[in-house]
Amino acid sequence: MEQEQQVSNFDTIENVQRAMFAQSYIADRSLATTVFLALKRRKPLLLEGEPGVGKTEIAKVLAAALDTKLIRLQCYEGIDISTAVYEWNYTRQMLHIRLMEAEGIKRQEELKEIFGPDFLMKRPLLQAIDEENAKTPVLLIDELDRSDEEFEAYLLELLSDFQITIPEIGTIKAKEPPVVIITSNRTREIHDALRRRCLYYWIDFPTLEKEYSIVLARMPGVPEKLAKQVCYFVRELRSADLYKAPGVAETLDWISSLLALNQLDLVEGPVRDTLGALLKYQDDVLKVGGSDLFKVVQKARGAS
Amino acid sequence: MSVNPLENGHYFADNPLRPLELERGERLLYRLTEFGRILWEVGIDVGPRKMLELAETLNYIDVTNKEDFYNTLKCSLLARHEQEVIFDQMFLYYWYMRDRQNKKAENPRGAAKRDERQMRLPPSERKRLAEHMNANEQQRKDLRSEMRQSERPRRAHEHIDDEDDEDDANPQGTAYSAIEMLRKKDFESFTWEEVQEAKKLMAEMRWNLGMRPTHRKAPSRNGSYPDMRRIVRRNLKYGAEILELTWRKTKRKPRPLVIICDISGSMSLYSRLLLHFIHTISNGLMNVEAFVFGTRLTRITRQLKRRDVDDAVRDVSKSVQDWSGGTRIGDAIHYFNQKWSRRVLGRGAVVLVISDGWDRGEAGVLEVEMDRLQHSCHRLIWLNPLLGSPDYRPLTIGMKTALPYIDNFLPAHNLDSLINLGNLLATIDDSRPLRSTAARRKAAAAWTNSGVK
What is the nearest CA distance from A7 to chain B, expressed in angstroms?
14
Q: Which of A146-150, B15-19, B37-41 has the lowest mean pLDDT?
A: B15-19
Name which of B45, B71, B87, B234 to mutate to probe chain A: the one with the most chain A Cβ atoms within 10 A of its Cβ: B71
Q: Which residues of A touch B56 (CB under 8 A)?
A: 41
For B27-52, write each residue's pLDDT tens digit. Answer: 788 888 889 988 988 888 888 888 88
A78 touching chain B per CB within 8 A = yes
Q: Do A94 and B232 touch (CB under 8 A)?
A: yes
Contact A243, A283 (CB under 8 A): yes
- Residue A233, CA atoms < 13 Å, CB-side half-sphere: 31
Q: Do B81 and A80 touch (CB under 8 A)?
A: no
Of the ranges B161-170, B343-352, B439-448, which is most confident? B343-352
Average pLDDT over residues A127-136: 88
Sorting pLDDT into bands at 50, 70 and 90, what band is B254?
A: confident
Distance of CA B285 to the CA centre of its chain: 13
What confidence score (pLDDT) does residue A231 get? Answer: 95
Residue A142 has pLDDT above 60, yes or no: yes
A31 touching chain B per CB within 8 A = yes
Q: What is the DSSP string of B349-383?
A: -EEEEE------S-HHHHHHHHHHHHHTSSEEEEE
Q: Spell A262-287 as b/e; 16+ CB within 10 A means b.
A: ebeebeeebbeebbebbbeeeebbeb
Higher pLDDT, B27 or B131: B27
Residue B99 has pLDDT above 70, yes or no: no
What confidence score (pLDDT) does residue B388 get? Answer: 82
Residue B57 has pLDDT above 50, yes or no: yes
What confidence score (pLDDT) does residue B7 get? Answer: 43
Q: Which of A242-246, A271-275, B442-446 has the lowest mean pLDDT?
A: B442-446
What confidence score (pLDDT) does residue A304 get? Answer: 67
**Average pLDDT along chain B:** 75
Of the ranges A201-205, B123-127, B383-387, B411-415, which is most confident? A201-205
Q: Which residues of A touch B337 (CB under 8 A)?
A: 243
Q: Which residues of B touch A43 (CB under 8 A)?
A: 53
What separation in angstroms does the CA of A173 have from each of A39, A131, A133, A165?
A: 19, 7, 12, 9
Q: Do B217 and A243 touch (CB under 8 A)?
A: no
Of the ranges A52-66, A111-125, B218-232, which is most confident? A52-66
- B324: left (phi > 0), else alpha (psi -120 to 50), else beta? left
User: pLDDT > 70: what percent of chain B?
Assistant: 74
Residue A7 has pLDDT above 70, yes or no: no
As beta bridge partners, residue A52 has none
Identify which of B302, B292, B305, B303 has the alpha carbon closest to the alpha carbon of residue B335.
B292
Q: Do A187 and B80 touch (CB under 8 A)?
A: no
Higher pLDDT, B432 or A144: A144
For A210, the closest of B6, B57, B67 (CB atoms) is B6
Average pLDDT over residues A55-65: 94
The continuous run of DSSP H or E covering B339 comes out as none
Q: Which of A56-65, B12-21, B326-335 has the lowest mean pLDDT?
A: B12-21
What confidence score (pLDDT) does residue B8 get? Answer: 44
Q: Which of residues 226-265 of A touch B (CB under 8 A)?
A: 241-243
What confidence score (pLDDT) does residue B178 get? Answer: 66
User: Looking at this predicted complex, what is its ipTM?
Assistant: 0.74
Q: Which residues of A touch B43 (CB under 8 A)?
A: none
Q: Please write down the HEC assignment for all residues of chain A.
A: CHHHHHHHCCCCHHHHHHHHHHCCCCCCHHHHHHHHHHHHHCCCEEEEECCCCCHHHHHHHHHHHHCCCEEEEECCCCCCHHHHCEEECHHHHHHHHHHHHHHCCCHHHHHHHHCCHHHEEECHHHHHCCCCCCCCCEEEEECHHHCCHHHHHHHHHHHHHCEEEECCCEEEECCCCCEEEEEECCCCCCCHHHHHCCEEEEECCCCHHHHHHHHHHHCCCCCHHHHHHHHHHHHHHHHCCCCCCCCHHHHHHHHHHHHHCCCCCCCHHHHHHCHHHCCCCHHHHHHHCCCCHHHHHHHHHHHC
**CA–CA distance, A241 with A187 (Å, rounded to integer):** 20
In chain A, whose CA is at the least distance from the CA of B252?
Answer: A78
Q: Which of residues 131-190 of A touch B (CB under 8 A)?
A: 148, 150, 185-189
Sorting pLDDT into bands at 50, 70 and 90, what band is B176?
A: low
Average pLDDT over residues A156-160: 88
A207 touching chain B per CB within 8 A = yes
Average pLDDT over residues A137-165: 91
Q: Which of A67-76, A241-250, B141-150 has the lowest mean pLDDT?
A: B141-150
Sorting pLDDT into bands at 50, 70 and 90, what band is B144?
A: very low
Q: Do B60 and A97 touch (CB under 8 A)?
A: no
What is the nearest CA distance from B370 to chain A, expressed in angstroms?
14
What is the nearest CA distance from A142 to chain B, expressed in angstroms?
17
A202 touching chain B per CB within 8 A = yes
What confidence score (pLDDT) does residue B223 get? Answer: 83
What is the identity of the amino acid at B362?
A: E
Sorting pLDDT into bands at 50, 70 and 90, what band is B335?
A: very high
Q: Do B216 and A189 touch (CB under 8 A)?
A: no
What confidence score (pLDDT) does residue B393 get? Answer: 82
What confidence score (pLDDT) does residue B287 get? Answer: 87
**CA–CA distance, B329 with B297 (Å, rounded to integer):** 9
Q: Which residues of B touch A242 (CB under 8 A)?
A: 338
For A195-225, write each residue's pLDDT tens digit. Answer: 999 999 999 999 999 999 999 999 988 999 9
Is B106 strand, coil or helix? coil
Higher pLDDT, B242 or B135: B242
Sorting pLDDT into bands at 50, 70 and 90, what band is B140?
A: very low
Q: Which of A5-9, B144-148, B296-300, B397-401 has the lowest mean pLDDT?
A: B144-148
Q: Do B75 and A200 touch (CB under 8 A)?
A: yes
Residue B402 has pLDDT above 60, yes or no: yes
A7 touching chain B per CB within 8 A = no
What confidence score (pLDDT) does residue A5 get? Answer: 44
Average pLDDT over residues B79-88: 87
Q: Which residues of A touch B4 (CB under 8 A)?
A: 204, 207
Average pLDDT over residues B110-122: 41
Identify which of B312, B249, B255 has the alpha carbon closest to the alpha carbon of residue B279.
B312
Higher pLDDT, B307 or B99: B307
Total residues belonging to chain A: 304
Evaluate if pTM is beyond 0.90: no
Name which of A204, A208, A287 to mutate to probe chain B: the one with the most chain B Cβ atoms within 10 A of its Cβ: A204
Higher pLDDT, A3 or B351: B351
Residue B305 has pLDDT above 70, yes or no: yes
For A269-280, write each residue's pLDDT tens digit. Answer: 999 999 999 999
Higher pLDDT, B288 or B169: B288
